[in-house]
Structure 1
Amino acid sequence: MTTHTHQQNPADFYDVESTLTDEEREVLHRTRTFMREEVRPLVADQWAEGTFPRELIARFRASGLSGLAYPGYGEDGPGASHLLTGMMAMEMSRVDASVATFFGVHNGLAMYSIHAGGDQEQRDRWLPAMARMDTIGAFALTEPLDGSDIAAGMRTTARRDGDTWILDGAKRWIGNATFADHIVVWARDVDDDQVKGFVVGRDAPGFKAEKIVHKTSLRIVENADLTLEGVRVPEADRLQNVSSFRDVAEVLRATRSGVAWQALGVMTGAYELALEYAAERQQFGRPLAGFQLVQDLLVKSLGNITSSWGMLLQLARLQDAGVFRDEHSSLAKAHVTARMREVVAWAREIFGGNGIVLEYDVARFFADAEAIYSFEGTREMNALIVGKAITGESAFV
């Protein structure tokens, strides 16, 4: 087994990190250092205020962590493996799920939509600046009245008018949209009733992004309600390789596994906090870690984390081999987020009353887990995707 000189992740009990190459491990450690030194000092205050620290964008830009999965666009060569990008998402969420979500929306949903749905000219036009984080992306799919049923219920429309398209409608829960430069908007073509993708600039006339306030989860993420009223988009800014919702589903299939990695990071961060607190907190003349019931909670947490590592390791291998299917990412998202929910609750339990105070951090992980449990497909919707795959029967209504 490889011996590491860098600080280990104590929740990586079976040393999955050792499966990375030396070059991949360097990127992972760079991610770990960046999150510990640049992000951790900010997040408690920003979470309380419900604002995204814009100064982080320049720090991310300097880190060179963006765009690594896109051959020819990121700075580090031919394209990072799914295992590396997944472990990067885990490392980010291990410190803060909101910052990891900001990065995932930009680097995953927005960039992948352009990479997979755009033609070569569009990829060359948008992706280099996005990989450098000179420009930031957002992804607008969910609507005020349609979430899980968005494939059939999408109400945002696109109407062709010569060399332009006119977009009308509304979107909800759109991360990064209050400050993103490029928003990938999905709309239904009124002529053929098929979903198409458009890259909309934030200054486009008729486009409005209003920040959603009073959230109790992922408070650092600036989600927005979008309004599109007669927004004109050139045909050149319509994603040329998107012809139906199947192309949207391809993006979600690829990024859903990233949410499972985020869930692993959240339960890892909560477990580490609980383990440290149990060692330091004294009750009845001994540390909490010396009590059987506390050890039981910690071991159950580590079991959830370790089993999730195994699932995600194999999922990444299937992705890198190009043979993974919708049901593979759906099972991971449904299962790992459910295990995350258990771990953050057990971690908060170990903290007792201190577990609801923001300065102890575990409260942030506990609250943020709820959003991750729901987005990119609820547990129930992902269960039905897997259920159809294993039974051959569709239970969707």
Structure 2
Amino acid sequence: MAEPSHPADQVRDPGTEPVFPNGDDLGRSRGTDLYAVDDLLSDEERATRDRVRAFCDDELIPVAGDLWERAELPWDLLKSYGRLGIVGGTVSGHGSAGLSPLADGMIIAELARGDGSFSTFHGVHSGLAMGTIGLLGSEEQRARWLPAMATLEKLGAFALTEPNHGSDVVALETRAERTGSGWRLTGEKRWIGNGSIADLVVVWARDDDGKVGAFVVEHPDGAEHPVPGYTARPITGKTAHRAVWQTQIRLDGVEVGADARLAGANSFSDTNRVLARTRQGVAWEAVGHAVAAYEAALTYALRREQFGKPLASFQLVQDKLSHMLVDITSAQQVCVRMSQLETGGRAELKHAALAKLHTAAAARRVCALARDVLGGNGILLDHHVARHHADVEAVFTYEGTDSVQSLIVGRAVTGISAFS
């Protein structure tokens, strides 16, 4: 007798009815924007946002569940993604998008509404990798690397976190030793998105003088043929962000040239300049997860009947939906103001920390309530909420845990550091 195949190996018949009629429509945008944040975008920015929204509705969301279940990267979508005009985010010049902080944030939220894994891929490539080179690289370094990254000819990664140093990453153990022609990198990194597929990896290490720097490890022959001493192993068994590959990286005497060190990266303060910006993106990402879960729950409640009438007609369900919208609206307003401060050059680490502290917790509440509204169907990928419910747990942790964000805000308001 033939061995039965695993359900994940079975291809769904396109004609098969979903568990809930029109279930796939639950993921489409309803434009949740009670306080008209959309009005703050220019016509050009709104057109870009609308392209991203259509991409998510028409191309990303229909396949997101299968990709999540199979833990597969969405390679087939990269060409469409590259045409959206968003690669590079707020980075200007050399083919990058050059978006305003507000437009960039709202686009990150749209991508997260579509799929958290894809939003993370964008955040790593456009935000962390391209953002670091754009912020800390010399003009020559920006001209050397950004154009190919902007066209997705080369993919990027950002390697800061280490196996023994997450929240205390300031204790960086990876070493950069001077050689006659450049630097030799030795150490390990963990939770590095795109680490096994990137052509360029921004590696943070401590040099002979104890200074923290960023070094670009480039694989000239592509990620499938890494430079000697560089190995990357995807982390398996994840219950969140399954369709993006995070890796454990080992650097065993990786040689890079003297010009591989980013000119503006000479201390951990420079690292924090990058994190202050990318943490803003994670705050917006949390908003996207919350919006997705809320919109799916609202649509479901209006369509699903129990006891002879729509779920949405029950007081308890309306109370849940109202509290979900309160969390979403307040999170949107915090993110909008943070982006406005960034535009004016006034945003600091404390602003990003407060925003992420608020939006990640709010999104967690919204996703849990949405899962409750959907009842048993809330654990099915067909209804989208389950994926966001799981993925928001990763958002709650990465780019600084809830407790770390709280201590950053606490230090800002008291003037006293409680980190040690």
The separation in 2 between residues aligned to 1:53 and 1:10, in whole angstroms, is 25
The separation in 2 between residues aligned to 1:261 and 1:165, in whole angstroms, is 37
Please, which runs of 5 or more residues in structure 1 have no aligned partner? 1-6
Q: Residue by residue, what CA displacement relative to the aligned partner does 1:355-380 show, whole Å, maximum 9, x if unpaired?
A: 11122111000000000000000111
The answer as to whether partners of 1:60 and 1:133 remain within 8 angstroms in 2 is no
Report % sequence identity: 47
Instruction: Please tell me the root mean square deviation across aligned C-alpha atoms, in Å.
Output: 1.3
Please, which runs of 5 or more residues in structure 2 have no aligned partner? 1-27, 220-225
Q: Determine if the alignment matches structure 1 residue 354 to structure 2 residue 380.
A: no
- The Cα of 1:68 is off from its aligned counterpart by 4.7
Q: Residue by residue, what CA displacement relative to the aligned partner does 1:296-328 show, whole Å, maximum 9, x if unpaired?
A: 000000000001111111111100000111101
Q: Determine if the alignment matches structure 1 residue 125 to structure 2 residue 135.
A: no
Partner of 2:83, secondary structure, is helix
The separation in 1 between residues aligned to 2:321 and 2:78, in whole angstroms, is 35
The answer as to whether partners of 2:96 and 2:146 remain within 8 angstroms in 1 is no
The separation in 2 between residues aligned to 1:178 and 1:333, in whole angstroms, is 28
- The Cα of 1:74 is off from its aligned counterpart by 3.5
1:70 to 77, 80, 91: 91
Which amino acid in structure 1 is aligned with residue 83 of structure 2? A
The answer as to whether partners of 1:156 and 1:168 remain within 8 angstroms in 2 is yes
Partner of 2:301, secondary structure, is helix
1:87 to 99, 106, 110: 106
Which amino acid in structure 1 is aligned with residue 183 of structure 2? W
Partner of 2:199: 181
The answer as to whether partners of 1:61 and 1:134 remain within 8 angstroms in 2 is no
Which amino acid in structure 2 is aligned with residue 313 of structure 1? V
1:319 to 342, 347, 363: 342
- The Cα of 1:75 is off from its aligned counterpart by 6.0
The answer as to whether partners of 1:64 and 1:132 remain within 8 angstroms in 2 is no
Partner of 2:99, secondary structure, is coil
- The Cα of 1:201 is off from its aligned counterpart by 2.2
Q: 1:181 to 1:347 in 2, by over 3 A?
A: same
The separation in 1 between residues aligned to 2:120 and 2:143, in whole angstroms, is 25
Partner of 1:199: 216
The answer as to whether partners of 1:67 and 1:73 remain within 8 angstroms in 2 is no
Q: Residue by residue, what CA displacement relative to the aligned partner does 1:107-165 show, whole Å, maximum 9, x if unpaired?
A: 000011111111110000001111122211100000111100010x2111110011221
- Using the size of structure 2 for normalisation, the TM-score is 0.90
- The Cα of 1:65 is off from its aligned counterpart by 2.3
Q: Determine if the alignment matches structure 1 residue 253 to structure 2 residue 272.
A: no
Q: Residue by residue, what CA displacement relative to the aligned partner does 1:14-63 show, whole Å, maximum 9, x if unpaired?
A: 11001111111111111111111221122111100111121222222233
Partner of 1:25: 46
The answer as to whether partners of 1:253 and 1:326 remain within 8 angstroms in 2 is yes
Greater shift, 321-330 or 196-205, is seen at 196-205
Which amino acid in structure 1 is aligned with residue 46 of structure 2? R
The separation in 1 between residues aligned to 2:193 and 2:71, in whole angstroms, is 13
2:164 to 145, 164, 169: 145
How many residues are matched? 387
The separation in 2 between residues aligned to 1:47 and 1:165, in whole angstroms, is 38
